[in-house]
Amino acid sequence: MKGKSRNRQIVLLTVFATILVVIGHSDITDDFKALWIYKWVYSFHMPLFFFISGFLFCYTLPVEKLRNTTFLSFVKKKAIRLMIPFLFINTVIFVIKSRMSDPAMMQNPVTLDWGSFLDSTFFNPMGFMWFLPTLFVIFAVLFLMYKYLKISKIIGGWYLIFMFLAVIGMATLSVFLPKIKFMQVSNAVYYASYFLTGIIYCDYKTAVDRFLRKYWVVIGVLSLAASVSLMFSKYMAALSGICFSLVLSLLLEDKCSDTVVRFSAFSYTVFLLSYFPQMLLRGPISHIFPSVNQYLLSVASFVVGLAVPVIIGVIAMKLKERSPRFKDIFKLIGI
């Protein structure tokens, strides 16, 4: 994938996925979960994130770089990028919940002790933090397989077939694999198929994009209809949403402004920090102002869920530019 416009297409995909995540976490009461928008977002927004992660994994590791990258160096890099922010943010949320929340109101109650802390770290992460260990496990497990498939002379022209078999194999395994909560292993197996699909898209992007552009009306309408109808579940719903997202991003890539590109640099920070302003609205503020319409609060939750992390990210970037000593600190919030 080369060129400004194609890079901006992935920028649009990332921003779109980030917006969907914040929308999905804008619920104030359970009534929000009955809305069509909530069900639509949850039908594909996390598969889309793993799809993008697979694409970027492939895009940032061309064959020569992949050949010179060792498993340990790769895993270390991903641990710094994913697991250190996870441990920090997850611990902060754990402390807040254990001190301020009623255990009876939590799906996975926590108490301020080592047993509860270890459980929330390795088995039941706080909120949506499960994404980070899931992605880390996928990276760690699939790196060696992908490296072998890409550089092996034995595989050669069979590469695409092996990749499709891997997608089908992971999807099948997720159906029969017993639930393994440790380090989100079960989630990693389920979402690995979308990650692998993102790799395939990266490898054959030119041909796929040509096809999508040629038949964008038919593919766009059908994938959108299949997605918004909520007629399908799991894989079909997710793939429909991903397909629609690809068509949409290709159609809009030439209109992707520099502002959108700059915003995309904070997508990871939005994911990590949006929990805090959104939980503040869902918890104390909604209880202090019970007469305010919950859907107005949901709109406010969406706005602050995007704006607050971006503002923090901008300030962090400026501080990091002024003083290198902030470099390692701001890794905790994805900067």
Distance CA 91, CA 110 (A): 11
- Residue identified by tokens 């694409």 is 55
Q: What is the DSSP string of 7-73?
A: HHHHHHHHHHHHHHHHHHT--SSGGGGGSHHHHHHHHHHHHHHHHHHHHHHHHT--HHHHHT--HHH
Q: Over range 141-149, report the average pLDDT.
A: 91
Distance CA 313, CA 320 (A): 10
Please write the tens of the pLDDT for every residue from 159-207. 889 999 999 999 999 999 999 999 999 999 999 999 999 999 999 999 9
**Three-state DSSP class for residue 233:** coil
Please write the tens of the pLDDT for every residue from 65-80. 999 999 999 999 999 9
Query: Could you tell me the residue ranges of all domains in the chain?
Result: 4-256
pLDDT of res. 34: 87
Q: State the pLDDT confidence band at 143, using cuts at 50, 70 and 90.
A: very high
Distance CA 285, CA 281 (A): 5
pTM, two decimals, is 0.92
Q: Two tokens at 297?
A: 């609060």
Which residues does 270 contact at the CB level (< 8 Å), separation at least 6? 18, 21, 22, 305, 306, 309, 310, 313
Which residues does 219 contact at the CB level (< 8 Å), separation at least 6? 212, 243, 247
Q: Two tokens at 280?
A: 């503040």
pLDDT of 5 higher than 50: no
Q: State the pLDDT confidence band at 109, using cuts at 50, 70 and 90.
A: confident
pLDDT of 1 higher than 70: no
Nearest to 124 by CA among 111, 112, 108, 136: 108
Q: State the pLDDT confidence band at 2, using cuts at 50, 70 and 90.
A: very low
- Residue identified by tokens 């979402």 is 191
The one-letter amino acid at 328: D
pLDDT of res. 251: 94
Q: Over range 241-264, report the average pLDDT.
A: 93
pLDDT of res. 127: 84
pLDDT of 318 higher than 90: no
